[in-house]
Amino acid sequence: MSSELQVFRLPDLGEGLTEAELVNWLVAVGDQIKVDQPIAEVETAKSMVEVPSPYAGTVAELHGQTGETLDVGKPLISIAPVGAAPAEPKAPAATDDAVSTGVVTDAEASAAAETYRTEEKAGSGNVLIGYGTPGGATGGRTRPRKGSVAVVDAAPAAALEGSVAAPEARMEPAVAGTRIPGKLSAVISPLVRKMARDHGVSLDAINGSGASGLIMRRDVEAAISAPEAPVAPSAQAPAEAVAPAAASGDLDGRTGLAVSARTPVRGVRKAVAANMTKSRTEIPEATVWVDVDATALLDMRAELKKRSAHDTPGLLAFIARFVTAGLKKYPTLNTRFETGTDGSQEIVGFDGINLGFAAQTDRGLVVPSVRNAHQLSARELDAEIRRLTAVAREGKATPTELGSGTFTLNNYGVFGVDGSAAIINYPEVAMLGVGRIIDKPWVVNGELAVRKVTELTLAFDHRVCDGETAAGFLRYVADCIENPGGALADM
């Protein structure tokens, strides 16, 4: 119907993310918007992105406040179609659905969100990254928007809890045009997995009630409520007693000091914390290091700069070139260690190298990666490293650019330190760190001299290789730095 409100739900912005922080609304209630017009800026654990509208019409309601963290699949914005009279809010009847009335209750929103996440994870094809949604009253832009995502409401809330044998729920024309048929499998949405993990529920012990054995939120909720006894009142009392102390300025019970501030851990910082914890928990890492005379490399770059100052690669690009050559020689360090649900383990190798590099931004530490870095020259690596650093610092790097690395290069020398006991960027198996380059006494041809020296540190997963492999790779990169001309001639 032309008078129906169209409800657009927060999409999964990539990499199975379960939530995003609403940074800024780009539209207001009453605004006329077009298909693919950016409506909000949101920050995920990966990047800052603009979310475009899959609908054209008049903004009827904004479902969220600036600074609020929204779950994937929950209503983001309601839009009245072009030419429709403003919808009058009304209480929905028992048979009304959330889309047709334009009024979304909490229960309906949760149910609709779960169904959206279920369909998305089953490969419904409703997530359109960098494209407008077919249909609508106006034509969308043909120019793709980096990091943009458009997701349309998949079905009325009334059909959400239908049985497996029920026919496929009615869809908007735009949804039907983007569905990929025949892609239904027993998968679990990120929020359902998170709910199970937070409550200590084993998904292996749950028989899914959804199509093809899909584990739904209701299945996990049933498992959570299964324990025979509720929490004892005595166990609840301490929590109630501590609650008033949550406000800043109150005394901290352990130190006796006043609490000056409480900063929520979210966005990039939350992702970094989770990733580092997982790395330390699962990876038995070992570290090897070596001091390297980088004088010849600096001299070679200085000579190149005299010839062509505008496009001379930086030192990190040369080292990146040496690293990709070393990973070809020692491919075990360019792998991933995987454990199957049945307890089986395997080392997964890759036909290519996506070289990640640590970049410090205002939002925290991120690791964009140069895809197919093994195919690039030092000059090409330099250009891509500079581009990725810029988009990462602007918060515009895509989830693919931030989550596809196979090995990480970390230049912490820019912070004025010599070395670091680095934490491997999970799920990779190794990381090479480069310290600052400083003048040090060095023996050259039996005589003491002042040379430009740096320290290389390799942290590696001892499950995938032994010290011989790690030392061989580290020594190879060190030799390339000490004899860059000969190394580049052989690459």
For 489, the enclosing helix (H) or strand (E) is helix 484-489
Task: Return the closest-CA partner of residue 332 out of 429, 457, 404.
Answer: 429
Other C-beta atoms lying within 10 Å of the C-beta of residue 86 = 12
Q: Which alpha helices (H) appear in 51-210, and where do they start and end?
A: 98-101, 106-121, 173-176, 190-198
Determine which one of 63, 199, 310, 462 is catalytic.
Answer: 462
Give the sign of the dihedral formed by CA 167, CA 171, CA 174, CA 180. negative
C-alpha angle 391-395-401 in degrees, rounded to nearest 5:
55
- Burial class from Cβ neighbours inside 10 Å (0-12, 13-18, 19+) for residue 381 reads buried
CB-based contact 472:326 (threshold 8 Å): no
Who's near 54: CB < 8 A, 6+ residues apart? 8, 35, 36, 128, 132, 133, 136, 150, 151, 152, 174
CB-based contact 294:452 (threshold 8 Å): yes
3-state secondary structure of 62: strand
Who's near 162: CB < 8 A, 6+ residues apart? 169
From CA 434, how far away is CA 317, in angstroms rounded? 12
CB-based contact 459:422 (threshold 8 Å): yes
Task: Return the closest-CA partner of residue 69 out of 123, 131, 21.
Answer: 21
Task: Return the closest-CA partner of residue 458 out of 476, 437, 436, 485.
Answer: 476
Matching residue, tokens 């966005």: 267
- Note if 462 is an active site residue: yes
CB-based contact 330:471 (threshold 8 Å): no
From CA 353, how far away is CA 330, in angstroms rounded? 12
Crossing angle of helices 315-329 and 467-482, rounded to 10°: 140
CB-based contact 153:116 (threshold 8 Å): yes
Bridge partners of 21?
43, 69
Which residues are part of the catalytic machinery? 462
